Amino acid sequence: MRTICFYFQVHQPFRLKPYRFFEIGDDHDYWDDYSNRNIMNKVAKKCYLPMNQLLLELIHKFQGKFKVCFSLSGCILDQMEAYAPEVLRSFQELVDTGHVELLNETYSHSLCALKSESEFKHMVQLHQEKIKHHFKGYEPKVFRNTELIYSDSIGEMVAGMGFDGILSEGAKHILGWKSPNFVYVNAHEPKLKVLLKNFRLSDDIAFRFGEKTWSDYPLTTDKFIGWLNQVPQEDEVINLFMDYETFGEHQWKETGIFEFMRHLPEAVLNRTNFGFSTPSEVIANASPVGKINVPIPISWADEERDLTAWLGNDLQDEAFDRLFELEASVKRSSNPEIQRDWLYLQTSDHFYYMCTKFFSDGDIHAYFSPYESPYEAFINYMNVLSDFILRLKQDEKERIAS
């Protein structure tokens, strides 16, 4: 079997509004509805709607020989419900073709797998329920953790929840001489299959496509097909994993990204010995070649492929630790607004905005952040968290009094 597995991450965070110190205790509305609505509608127009339409056309044109998979965070589904129901309908139409796979993940794109197994399982269950609700009882069999964060222990938890496979990054420091173009198994639970991103070919599309200083610019279908045909014949699967916003948002329409994608499936099917598969199909049809040992968590972020995009400095660690100190109190609360805010405050983007790495990847971090500096992001988040703590204490008092 020689196949290509396209995976797209679809996520938008609920962004915090500017929240000042003197508002603590008075203002319990943390979310920037204006920005969230505008950004959702902008990305829907530039990416989600045109790309979904293109994929639908390609699936019909090739009668199911072209396939893709998505993970849609609970945050993006909530925003589709609130701001862009037509986008949700377009994803439902794609899934209805039977040639699009959906993956499970944490509801709010959380880093909880690094901190709390109970919260991790809770987040996954919430996401499962959300997917079932919107996609006719659909039950994903493959998991994708936030930002492809993976380790042996995270894989164990995922296997324990009954998943057949998990996606992760084909990090050089983990693979060594091995190739990402095979199926592996978790080091502790061999029943869990591990699919690894081919980061070079994925990032050629996701990051370098419109980069005019890149030595291989412009990336054409012919050039990409040439690279695929250079892949050793024994390699079984090319995992092309990327943000869905690559199409039209990170790489603008003017770069030719949509036309590249429009012509790629036909070129692959006619000029290579590759086909297309979903993750479940890869897992079912390819035999694992061995275990992949990942004792320390990896991710798909930055040159290091580690956790330092989110938990790499004192600001991030302080905010993350303070947040999860509240888990037990939140679990005791039945207040739906507290539960909602707890979910959204866990979103990894908040910690990403606090990143102080300004070396190889600083420009990427600055592109995604709505703040002037990581320190501003930290202060704003901690002000919100201070108010959230006061609400939890008041909720506890009222519960005891009743």
Please list the active-site residues. Answer: 147
Burial 143-173 (b: 16+ CB within 10 A, else e): bbbbbbbbbbbbbebbbeeebbbbbbbbbee
Q: What spatial distance separates the first Cα and last Cα of the chain, rounded to whole Å?
A: 63
CB 71 within 8 A of CB 141: no
Cis peptide before 288 (omega within 30 of 0): no
Paired tokens of 196: 């690894």
d(CA 126, CA 132): 10
Of the candidates 266, 336, 203, the one whose C-alpha atom is nearest the C-alpha of residue 58 is: 266
CA distances from 108 to 28, 111, 126, 362, 365 (A): 20, 9, 9, 25, 20
Paired tokens of 25: 């205790």
Q: Is the dihedral of CA 152, 299, 224, 65 positive or negative?
A: positive
d(CA 94, CA 100): 6
Three-state SS across 340-397? HHHHHHCEHHHHHCCCCCCCCCHHHHHHHCCCCCHHHHHHHHHHHHHHHHHHHHHHHH
Q: Angle at which helices 257-271 and 221-229 pack, to 10 degrees? A: 40
Cβ-Cβ contacts under 8 Å for 264 (sequence gap 6 or more): 221, 224
State the DSSP code for 110. B
Q: Which helix (H) or strand (E) holds 154?
A: helix 152-160
